[in-house]
Chains A and B, each alone.
Chain A
């Protein structure tokens, strides 16, 4: 029983990342009709926003420490962040420690800007082209973006820890009266899950309760009619692309303490997120979120030792296996709408 609870918890944070990326993918597909293979790269760029801010905050000048030597036997040059000089060492350390949450503020404008630039600069030229062309160009863009990141940040993962206050794990088992150490869960992953819930809720609320959202939803249903009503739907869709980019980027920022970011982390998530979108139903926002969590939890269960012993290799194929079963039984996905990608 405790093993099952544990894997459900595990699936939740993985599912959160899938859901957030799939949500953005679906938003873009639903509004612009573009299959955006560069969406994983936006997640990765978000993560590197956190790396960049953490580097900016840690910008240092060197002070020579005569008492110690470096690897060549010369006096050791110690890096002292400028921020220590401005705010004092304790405050400076605290600011650097909180660089990941602070990166959220940094990432929002950066990601919206990148999203809008991407849409206006490249993707808008492919609206009327077949989906295959869109996939090729966005996939190419993803490769270019990840190579740019690799050029500047290297190929190795870069540690970007969570604030000290969130290190360690919460003992769920002990909290509900079970034996200690049976169900433990890292604090930061709980934060990630809560954060994902807030973002997903905010996106839904935005679409549901604002005039802007209402126009976008109308545009998703019938773009032509909305245009005929004199509404500049293109501009709104561009903004939606920026918002979708920001959602992916924020998901990336908050993911950095879970796994040290590297240049290909976007690709690692991209394919799975596409499966999530297809399973959830192309164009369905609740479907994307539901399928994200569902597949995240299933993936966790499939990596249990007992399951692998029973069916070797199941941990590597479970998501695709489930996708096949769902698509065979419900060809439009879990919550797919009629008419999407069927013309």
Chain B
């Protein structure tokens, strides 16, 4: 048995010396140069909105940009203040962020990782952006998040649904408000069991990239847990436009349910093709054949037209929600632009407000202070009910919407109806859940 000579006094002494040693470099740098990347010194602060302005997701990017412009207007005291009025935190006063007027620059991600990194880099280095936000793809989000970590700025992710963004690729400087593949699976499974029973044979078609894999994994895990069998899972190239050769063998496989782990143009085309093949009119194993789209987007649903009718999926937010936050946001956005906001617009608007609020609460633009203010932050009034920004992985935990393609839409925006609001606790998982394992937040970076 070993004997320790550690005393209380000795421990205090050692800690004090070690603490001074660790603090030393900061003491010097703080007084000699800016303490962190792009520290705002004038009367303005610049945010960087990195959204797809060209390429296949340009329409989604345009909606994100509208939301950002609205958020900036509200932060600077313009308009009706939007969700700042319903937000549970009252730190924002409509006088910019910490009294500095909010300005912004935009970048075009083109939904390509390298282009998105280049535009984010340019906004940080040339335009002095203190925070980068936006995007419509998980590949882009993961790439830009890593760049922001290196550069020492905060990244508030836009639309990114892959588990990896706050799983194996999570970073201390990155934060995601949007939900993820696991949550889609956890929210959808009970609704599917209820609607279609627990004895189903599912056939997965999966987009051959990061988001597709995590979505397939999540949906398989949750549907298999309730008794469904996965008869096949086929990966489809991201560039595929005609899915007929993938859809034609589905009926031959004996499957009675088709899960389309596709997003954007892939989803529009695969769903259209599946409906063309008449799958939904068929009976297999004595049951009506069904199609499921795990991640719905209203903008994408528009492309698939009538084909979305009656098809289940999940979504982060929908303009038909009736809570005060959602109603206020829809009113602000609708009156400014003439149509309701998309879920991409919602998450981007909320992320901007959350960032600004965290700065106010931290009393500093310093990324590590902002990160600390966001970690473990609980809030309400931003459209998804009570929400937690979990400290362990920087993922928001909130209610998830299960939606269905509407049978009788009243307009081109009225395509989805909310079937169930799945409570946050039902979609919450442990930070070390196997679907999210393999990465670490690391420590936050102030840059400079």
B-binding residues in A (CB < 8 A): 2-3, 6-7, 9-11, 13-14, 68, 70-72, 76, 78, 150, 154-159, 161, 167-169, 181-182, 184-186, 188-189, 257-260, 262, 264-265, 268, 299-300, 303-305, 308, 315-316
If the complex has contacts A3-B249, A260-B305, are A14 and B242 also in contact, measured as CB distance less than 8 A? yes
A-binding residues in B (CB < 8 A): 54-59, 232, 234-237, 239, 241-242, 244-246, 248-249, 251-253, 265, 268-269, 272-273, 276-278, 281-282, 284, 299-300, 302-307, 319-320, 330-331, 334-335, 339-340, 410-411, 413-414
If the complex has contacts A181-B251, A259-B273, A308-B235, are A72 and B334 also in contact, measured as CB distance less than 8 A? yes
CB pair A10–B248 under 8 Å, yes or no, is yes
A119 to chain B, nearest CB (A): 28
CB pair B245–A156 under 8 Å, yes or no, is no
Can you give 11 A-B contacts (C-beta < 8 A)? Answer: A10-B244, A71-B411, A76-B410, A155-B55, A157-B269, A159-B306, A159-B307, A184-B248, A259-B269, A260-B304, A304-B249
If the complex has contacts A70-B411, A260-B304, are A305 and B248 also in contact, measured as CB distance less than 8 A? no
If the complex has contacts A7-B248, A260-B268, are A154 and B59 also in contact, measured as CB distance less than 8 A? yes
CB pair A71–B242 under 8 Å, yes or no, is no
Chain B contacts of A3 at CB under 8 A? 249, 252
CB pair B268–A157 under 8 Å, yes or no, is yes
CB pair B278–A300 under 8 Å, yes or no, is no
Chain A contacts of B411 at CB under 8 A? 70-71, 76
- Kindly name the residue among A2, A260, A300 whose own CB sees the greatest number of chain B CB atoms within 10 A: A260
Complex Cα distance, B416 from A71, in Å, reads 13
Complex Cα distance, B58 from A41, in Å, reads 19
CB pair B242–A72 under 8 Å, yes or no, is no
Tally the A-B contacts, defined by beta carbons under 8 Å. 135
Complex Cα distance, B246 from A184, in Å, reads 13
B195 to chain A, nearest CB (A): 22
CB pair A156–B300 under 8 Å, yes or no, is yes
Complex Cα distance, B236 from A38, in Å, reads 27
CB pair A184–B251 under 8 Å, yes or no, is yes
The one of B235, B252, B303 in contact with A260, judged by C-beta atoms closer than 8 angstroms, is B303
Complex Cα distance, B234 from A37, in Å, reads 33
CB pair B239–A268 under 8 Å, yes or no, is yes
Measured CB to CB, the nearest residue on chain B to A300 is B245
CB pair B235–A184 under 8 Å, yes or no, is no
Measured CB to CB, the nearest residue on chain A to B289 is A181
Measured CB to CB, the nearest residue on chain B to A78 is B410
The one of B251, B277, B331 in contact with A72, judged by C-beta atoms closer than 8 angstroms, is B331
The one of B241, B269, B277 in contact with A184, judged by C-beta atoms closer than 8 angstroms, is B277
CB pair B58–A150 under 8 Å, yes or no, is yes
Chain B contacts of A155 at CB under 8 A? 54-59
The one of B249, B284, B299, B334 in contact with A6, judged by C-beta atoms closer than 8 angstroms, is B249
Complex Cα distance, B340 from A189, in Å, reads 36
Chain A contacts of B268 at CB under 8 A? 156-157, 159, 260
- Kindly name the residue among B56, B59, B248, B340 whose own CB sees the greatest number of chain A CB atoms within 10 A: B248
Measured CB to CB, the nearest residue on chain A to B57 is A155
If the complex has contacts A2-B252, A68-B410, A72-B331, are A305 and B232 also in contact, measured as CB distance less than 8 A? yes
Chain B contacts of A182 at CB under 8 A? 251-252
Measured CB to CB, the nearest residue on chain A to B340 is A71
A138 to chain B, nearest CB (A): 21
The one of A156, A157, A169, A260 in contact with B277, judged by C-beta atoms closer than 8 angstroms, is A169
- Kindly name the residue among A3, A7, A76, A258 whose own CB sees the greatest number of chain B CB atoms within 10 A: A258
Measured CB to CB, the nearest residue on chain B to A316 is B237
CB pair A156–B276 under 8 Å, yes or no, is no
Complex Cα distance, B221 from A99, in Å, reads 44
The one of B237, B265, B272 in contact with A159, judged by C-beta atoms closer than 8 angstroms, is B272
CB pair A157–B303 under 8 Å, yes or no, is yes
Chain A contacts of B59 at CB under 8 A? 154-156
Chain A contacts of B237 at CB under 8 A? 315-316
Complex Cα distance, B340 from A9, in Å, reads 43
Measured CB to CB, the nearest residue on chain B to A166 is B276
